[in-house]
Amino acid sequence: MLLRHTTEKEIDRKALTINPAKTCQPVGAMYAALGVHGCLPHSHGSQGCCSYHRSALTRHYKEPVMAATSSFTEGSSVFGGQANLLQAIGTIFSVYDPDIIAVHSTCLSETIGDDLKQIVAKANADGKVPDGKHVIEASTPSYVGSHVTGYHNMLQSIVQHFAIKTDEAKRQVNLLAGWVEPSDMRELKRISKMMGIKTVLVPDTSDVLDAPMTGKFEMYPKGGTTIPELVSMGDSMKTVAIGEWATKGAAIALDNNCKVPFDMLDLPIGVKATDRFIMSLSKAGAVAVPEEIDRERGRLVDMITDMHQYFYGKRVALFGDPDQLLPLCEFLLDLDMVPAYVVSGTPGKTFGKRMKEIFGDKIDQVKFKNGANADMFQLHQWIKQEGVDLLIGNTYGKYIALDEKIPFLRMGFPIVDRVGHSYFPTLGYMGGIRILEKILDLLMQYQDENSPEEKVELVM
Per DSSP, the residues of 229-276 read HHHHGGG-SEEEEE-HHHHHHHHHHHHHHH---EEEE---BHHHHHHH
What pLDDT does 453 receive? 85
What pLDDT does 249 receive? 98
pLDDT of 408 over the 80 cut: yes
DSSP state, residue 288 = P
The closest of 60, 58, 19 to 416, measured between CA atoms, is 60
Q: Any idea where the domains of the chain sit in the sequence?
A: 25-162, 173-290, 292-454
Work out the end-to-end distance of the chain between its first and last CA atoms, rounded to an integer number of angstroms: 32
CA distance 249 to 21: 23
What pLDDT does 460 receive? 72
pLDDT of 428 over the 60 cut: yes
Calculated CA dihedral for residues 424, 426, 432, 436, nearest 10 degrees:
70
Residue 421: Cβ-neighbour burial (10 angstroms; 0-12, 13-18, 19+) = buried
What pLDDT does 292 receive? 97
pLDDT in tens, 166-223: 999 999 999 999 999 999 999 999 999 999 999 999 999 999 999 999 999 999 999 9
Instruction: Please state which architecture CATH assigns to domain 292-454.
Output: 3-Layer(aba) Sandwich (3.40)
The answer to whether the CB of 57 falls within 8 A of the CB of 209 is yes
The dihedrals phi and psi of 287, each to the nearest 5 degrees, come to: -130, 160
CA distance 78 to 354: 43
> Would you place residue 100 in the very low, low, confident or very high pLDDT band (cuts 50, 70, 90)?
very high
How many CB atoms lie under 10 A from the CB of residue 24?
24
DSSP H or E stretch at residue 313? none
DSSP H or E stretch at residue 417? none
Same fold, 25-162 and 173-290: yes
The answer to whether the CB of 393 falls within 8 A of the CB of 415 is no
> Would you place residue 1 in the very low, low, confident or very high pLDDT band (cuts 50, 70, 90)?
low
Give the list of residues 6+ apart from residue 199 with CB closer than 8 angstroms, or none.
172, 173, 174, 175, 188, 189, 192
How many CB atoms lie under 10 A from the CB of residue 373?
17
Residue 418 CB-half CA count within 13 A: 20
Q: Which CATH superfamily is domain 25-162 in?
A: Nitrogenase molybdenum iron protein domain (3.40.50.1980)
State the DSSP string of 161-204. Answer: HH----S---S-EEEEE-S--HHHHHHHHHHHHHTT--EEEES-
What pLDDT does 456 receive? 81
Query: In the β-sheet with 39-44, what is the strand arrangement from edge to edge?
Result: 68-69, 39-44, 100-105, 134-138
CA distance 10 to 286: 53
What pLDDT does 459 receive? 78
Mean pLDDT along residues 80-90: 94
What pLDDT does 147 receive? 97
The correct CATH number of 173-290 out of 3.40.50.2300, 3.30.230.10, 3.40.47.10, 3.40.50.1980 is: 3.40.50.1980
What pLDDT does 74 receive? 83
What pLDDT does 2 receive? 56
pLDDT in tens, 2-49: 567 788 888 888 888 999 999 999 999 999 999 999 999 999 999 999
What pLDDT does 245 receive? 98
Query: What's this model's pTM, rounded to 2 decimal places?
Result: 0.96
What pLDDT does 79 receive? 78
The dihedrals phi and psi of 230, each to the nearest 5 degrees, come to: -65, -45
